[in-house]
Amino acid sequence: MKSLPKGVKDDNLIVGYESKDDAAVYKINDEVSIIETLDFFPSMVEDPYLFGQIAATNSLSDVWAMGGKPIMALNIAAFPDGMEPETIGKVLKGGAEKVIEAGCILCGGHTIVDEVPKYGLSVTGIVDTKKVLTNNGVKVGDKIIITKPLGVGILLTAHQCNIDTKEDFNDVVKNMTTLNKYAAEILFNYKVHALTDVTGFGLFSHLNEMLNDNASAKLYIDSIPTINDNVKKYIEDDYYTGGAIRNEDAIKEQIDFGNAKEWIKQLGYDPQTSGGLLCSIDKNDADEAIKELKKLNMKCAIIGEIVEKSEKAIYLL
């Protein structure tokens, strides 16, 4: 590179702030672009090592969601004054292990003092400039694939209320600590038109962001996978999060619920931590891709299709 760009308005910034995408993408040349993302949050589990793993898995995800692979990462953390160095060490160890599993290099970071512990990563990735996957390139006729089941927010709420089982906790932790790397590496072999990951805004809102001005989506509600059967049970017992209520307010006007049961609605609003990839894939590739994804031993499914733009953004079938 002979000269460096002078500002963010540079034409080389091919994905910026406007499209609410997973990460920013900067074109180095026609072959290589770099991806930049940052994510960190307070702990949702007591175990510091698991917290580190979950936060790192979540932070890395946005790089795969752009079609790339992570190459380097920096820790970003806040710990209270007087927190045991051993506890801090466990958070950082959990994070570092996930960075290594991702095939990425951890090369430093920054920690500040704060009352509430927080942890995450800033991640740099690379991607073939011609293969950048934005979140809004859907084509009418595409199938919609989700690569992890839903219910993280609900199961974590149940855990905080001490009504969950040991299996529930293990299931939700497995969901949050499984890297999206493996699903992405499969999906990258097929004709993927748009890709994002399902996180705090829940399935409905993340799907809505994928629908450009020319498209609506139909969701096959009976196909949407849940982490386990208790997800439905806890929703019916009214365990859901404040995040779900905010998500509902933000998106409900744009959904035709058909005859969907109330619990399915709540599932679609449920905020995911380190959720799966949401993929709009050429309809001729969907069956083969899902067959390969199922080999990863993570519940995944074809949950809908992209249709011509209609009155509502999302139709539940």
Nearest to 51 by CA among 225, 229, 173: 173
User: Where in 19-58 is the site for Co ion (CB under 5 A)?
Assistant: 22, 39
- Would you say the C-alpha torsion 91, 119, 299, 36 has a positive or negative sign? negative
Q: Which is nearer to Co ion, 22 or 270 (CB)?
A: 22
Tabulate helix, strand, coil % of the chain (nearest 5).
Answer: 35, 25, 35
Q: Which is nearer to Co ion, 20 or 252 (CB)?
A: 20
In whole angstroms, the minimum distance from the beta carbon of 62 to Co ion comes to 4
For residues 298 and 183, is the Cβ–Cβ distance under 8 A? yes
Contact between 209 and Co ion by CB under 5 A: the answer reads no
Among 62, 164, 171, 270, binds Co ion (CB under 5 A): 62
For residues 280 and 164, is the Cβ–Cβ distance under 8 A? no
Amino acid at 202: G
Q: Which is nearer to Co ion, 21 or 164 (CB)?
A: 21
Tell me phi and psi for residue 263, to 5 degrees.
-65, -30
Distance, CA of 195 to CA of 260 (rounded, Å): 26
Q: Which is nearer to Co ion, 50 or 121 (CB)?
A: 121
Angle in degrees, CA 129, 135, 141, rounded to 5: 105
Binding segment toward Co ion, per CB under 5 A, in 14-22, 111-119, 152-160, 260-268: 14-22
In whole angstroms, the minimum distance from the beta carbon of 271 to Co ion comes to 12
Binding segment toward Co ion, per CB under 5 A, in 61-69, 70-78, 227-235, 294-302: 61-69
In whole angstroms, the minimum distance from the beta carbon of 58 to Co ion comes to 8
Quick one: DSSP state of residue 22? S
Q: Which is nearer to Co ion, 88 or 121 (CB)?
A: 121
Applying CB under 5 A, the residues found at the interface with Co ion are 22, 39, 62, 197
